[in-house]
Structure 1
């Protein structure tokens, strides 16, 4: 199997597992510190586990680097996990860690309030802002085709948002609250998070290509800084009172850490789900940075959008959501814009159609041309 296909498949499957595990965990009613059942709503805890998984990448990098160094410098440089420059400034990963912390807390909160399929489809809005930020920081130019794609993706997002507000009346299996404002709030939180993610992806692409950073090492340092930043945020959110629908805790705060141990005690499936989420986050973020380095942020988002097909298949099979044709229409419009932006299909269709038309025109001109008399002498037998 081609290594590019393997990397893309690993990226898609790990991302799919992330979304499904988070949605399953957030639907669990477990006993809190007050003895009453509460949903497992801990966006700050999930963010901490995500950075813990990235920190494990740093340990893997050190182990692989030590093993490969015994074989000589050339073997170390040729290995895909350690390929890159040895000159690394850890502070360059401080800003991405801060942005990822805020974006992840918003994403996990939004996923708690909305559908898993809507969560993944709305994340396609990041490609719009990646294109805009790329013009400012990567000196890219947006052509008329890109602006048409951005308009198409915007129409798809609006369609998805409008339908989510309507289908909450009859499709509410995985929703904690069934009012229109709540699900719209969750969708808007995802959009705000993707604006931060778009800037994060462009920043990572610029620095990793310019400095030739090792993706697994950069992911490890993001994990280190992210754990520190999330720990500070956890202390703050543990004492901040908040209103519904964000107060699914015993004390009515944004993220109640006193509920965590009682909820995990004796719940083996919940613990295994969180462990799987941590490991899949390490793989997903590390592979995503690899795609940004050796390809582009746009291709990273294009590959990330593939997992929505797997999520759709799972939620329909598990009866988490009801198949809705209007939602599929919005998703089709969104995917059309994404494909148009990356010129994956439409440009090839245009070129093949133009070449076929030119061939047909050339054949018609030859057929209509009258035969001209030859000025050459006749052959002598």
Structure 2
């Protein structure tokens, strides 16, 4: 496989920004800063972090508009034919409100879970989305998994259990050593369960997007941007109510122990430059990641994108064990390998690579169908 310099750059940026999106949020969660009441606390503001993600997603709409302008300077045909801008650009944007709501609830739950568990476990357990996608695809599309996909799902479930056992064993060891922290130790398993549960909403979002984006032929960058607008505006309104809903520790860490405290979040960001930098990096990395993800799928193949996407989990795991708050545990490595194998079976990654090697023309045709 020979990649151009541009394709190689896209691949590197795709993997790096994908890993940064998880690492930088977890890094912010581990920082302490003075709150609005003068008490130094850990930065625990999952809904603010979800809002910053939507700010980044809104940036995709800006990128889309810039691409439209650049391509129009060359020719209108380029706008209508380029993989990132072609499609139905005039549609009812309210179609994307429901997927945005699924994403908003799912991502908010995941960011709460990220405070409770490890960044690597968080990233690995997100692979459970394929289980819920397969379940939801049957009533929505009458799509029945074949034996290969069912075997892949079975391996993913086994991998999820092993990763959960790894966190449980680590939790028990910390209890014995009296090193349990409020951030993750006692509630790591709860965080793991929340990550898996949130993937039902992520799968629902994917199924809804498949129905609307394919039926209406909506350009993905434009769709992501509008979902960012809907998610951001809805969450801003909801946080007014969240400021008065008491939840207590360990699911809140602000002066009133409420579901969210936007003012306290701004104060903590202002009192710790590390949190400020992490917030800015997260907002910037989101649109770059989405752009690279779509470009890699268009320039190379959907299969290549799936293989590369698993590499960011490896990066998150290495950084978690070396620079964040996690210790190496062999069970997690085993769980990750089983997860990876299950996802490869489900997505037919190994077979696709063999087909591309042995029969390039057939492999290319199947990749084009997979991208469609």
Give me the TM-score of the superposition, normalised by structure 2: 0.84
Q: Does 1:46 align with 2:49?
A: yes
Q: Does 1:24 align with 2:30?
A: no
Report the CA distance between 1:22 and its aligned residue. Answer: 0.5
Report the CA distance between 1:114 and its aligned residue. Answer: 0.3
CA-to-aligned-CA distance 1:40-69 (integer Å, 9 cap, x gap): 111111111111111122222223323332
Equivalent-residue separation in structure 2 for 1:296 and 1:205 (angstroms): 18
Work out whether residues 307 and 349 of structure 2, in 8 Å CA contact, stay in contact via their aligned partners in 1. no
Match of 1:251 in 2: 256
Work out whether residues 27 and 324 of structure 2, in 8 Å CA contact, stay in contact via their aligned partners in 1. no
CA distance change for structure 1 residues 38 and 174 in 2, over 3 Å: closer, same or farther? same
Match of 2:182 in 1: 176
Work out whether residues 59 and 225 of structure 2, in 8 Å CA contact, stay in contact via their aligned partners in 1. yes
3-state SS of 1:85 partner: coil
Q: Does 1:131 align with 2:137?
A: no
Q: Structure 1 stretches of 5 or more lacking a match?
A: 353-381
Runs of 4+ in 1 over 6 A off after TM superposition: 290-300, 346-350
Match of 1:370 in 2: none
Match 2:213 to one of 204, 208, 212: 208
Equivalent-residue separation in structure 2 for 1:329 and 1:220 (angstroms): 37
Match of 1:188 in 2: 193
3-state SS of 1:213 partner: coil
CA distance change for structure 1 residues 239 and 189 in 2, over 3 Å: closer, same or farther? same
Report the CA distance between 1:151 and its aligned residue. Answer: 1.2
Report the CA distance between 1:156 and its aligned residue. Answer: 1.1
Work out whether residues 171 and 322 of structure 1, in 8 Å CA contact, stay in contact via their aligned partners in 2. no
Equivalent-residue separation in structure 2 for 1:55 and 1:348 (angstroms): 35
3-state SS of 1:306 partner: helix
Tell me the matched-pair count.
350
Q: Which of 279-288 and 12-21 deviates more?
A: 279-288
Q: How does 1:253-332 map to 2 (within 5 A)?
A: 253-288=258-293, 303-318=308-323, 320-332=325-337
Match of 1:82 in 2: 85
Q: Does 1:165 align with 2:171?
A: no
Equivalent-residue separation in structure 2 for 1:272 and 1:348 (angstroms): 40
CA distance change for structure 1 residues 303 and 197 in 2, over 3 Å: closer, same or farther? farther
Q: Which of 168-177 and 57-66 deviates more?
A: 168-177
Q: How does 1:315-354 map to 2 (within 5 A)?
A: 315-318=320-323, 320-345=325-350
CA-to-aligned-CA distance 1:206-247 (integer Å, 9 cap, x gap): 322332211221111111111111112211211101122112
Q: Does 1:106 align with 2:90?
A: no
CA-to-aligned-CA distance 1:290-313 (integer Å, 9 cap, x gap): 678999999866653331111122
Work out whether residues 27 and 174 of structure 1, in 8 Å CA contact, stay in contact via their aligned partners in 2. no
Report the CA distance between 1:135 and its aligned residue. Answer: 3.1
Q: Structure 2 stretches of 5 or more lacking a match?
A: 358-372
3-state SS of 1:141 partner: coil
3-state SS of 2:104 partner: helix
Match of 2:241 in 1: 236
Q: Whose Rg is larger?
A: 1
Work out whether residues 136 and 204 of structure 2, in 8 Å CA contact, stay in contact via their aligned partners in 1. yes
* Structural RMSD (CA): 2.9
Report the CA distance between 1:158 and its aligned residue. Answer: 1.0
Equivalent-residue separation in structure 2 for 1:348 and 1:96 (angstroms): 32
Report the CA distance between 1:338 and its aligned residue. Answer: 1.2
Work out whether residues 58 and 226 of structure 2, in 8 Å CA contact, stay in contact via their aligned partners in 1. yes
Report the CA distance between 1:324 and its aligned residue. Answer: 1.0
Q: Does 1:71 align with 2:97?
A: no
CA distance change for structure 1 residues 82 and 344 in 2, over 3 Å: closer, same or farther? closer
Work out whether residues 115 and 184 of structure 2, in 8 Å CA contact, stay in contact via their aligned partners in 1. no
Equivalent-residue separation in structure 1 for 2:11 and 2:311 (angstroms): 9
Report the CA distance between 1:178 and its aligned residue. Answer: 5.4
CA distance change for structure 1 residues 116 and 253 in 2, over 3 Å: closer, same or farther? same
Equivalent-residue separation in structure 1 for 2:217 and 2:299 (angstroms): 10
